[in-house]
Amino acid sequence: MSWDAKAAQREPAPQDAAQEALAGRPSPQGVGGPLPPPAPGAMSYTYTTDLAAIRAAVYRQAREAGLPEPRAIDLVLAVSEVAANTIRHANSAGSLKIWYDTEEIVCQIEDDGLISDPLAGRRRPSLDAMGGHGLWIVHQVCDQVDMHSDETGTTIRLHMKLPGRRTG
């Protein structure tokens, strides 16, 4: 795998999403609400500590779906950041589901943890912050991030548009 710094540059996440969430209006990125079920036939993986197999599976599925290598690497980074949060903060195994269609590839990570901040990952953390960088990076590299977290657990869904598809 190679990394192309120019291809990895992304536009910053819009501040409107954070402002809408603070104002109590729903965000187009899906803050808080329950998510629909994964697509039928989604690949499913469980992890506890070793993320190497998860990274390999995401990369393999991303390339199979048609993501160019730099974007596949971005998706691996994003999934790895969220999965590492499971290992660090949740007292449970994590679950990863991956599916794609002609428009996008989606990775869903679930665990028993709770994210109490509905704006987690939407605000740029200060450089000296002890945490919060991972979810912020996830929001920078993915085309859409959906998150639902309550006392039953957390589900984070990462979306990437496939090449040659319209973005809106």
CATH number where 140 lies: 3.30.565.10
- Rounded to 10°, the helix 69-89/52-65 angle is 150
Query: Contact, 113 vs 129, CB < 8 A?
Result: no
Tell me how far apart the alpha carbons of residues 146 and 35 are, in angstroms, rounded to a whole number: 8
pLDDT of residue 63: 97
Q: Quick check: is 51 in a domain?
A: yes
Q: Quick check: is 5 in a domain?
A: no
The pLDDT tens digits for 29-73 are 334 678 899 999 999 999 998 899 999 999 999 999 999 999 999
pLDDT of residue 20: 39
pLDDT of residue 168: 55
Q: Quick check: is 9 in a domain?
A: no
Low-confidence ranges of the chain (pLDDT < 70): 1-32, 121, 125, 129-133, 165-168
Q: Quick check: is 92 in a domain?
A: yes
pLDDT of residue 131: 66
CB neighbours of 55 closer than 8 A, spacing ≥ 6?
76, 79, 80
Tell me which residue range forms the domain holding 60.
39-161
User: How many domains in the chain?
Assistant: 1
Q: Quick check: is 18 in a domain?
A: no
Q: Which candidate, 13, 154, 29, places its Cα nearest to that of 85?
A: 154
pLDDT of residue 94: 94
Q: Quick check: is 23 in a domain?
A: no
pLDDT of residue 92: 84
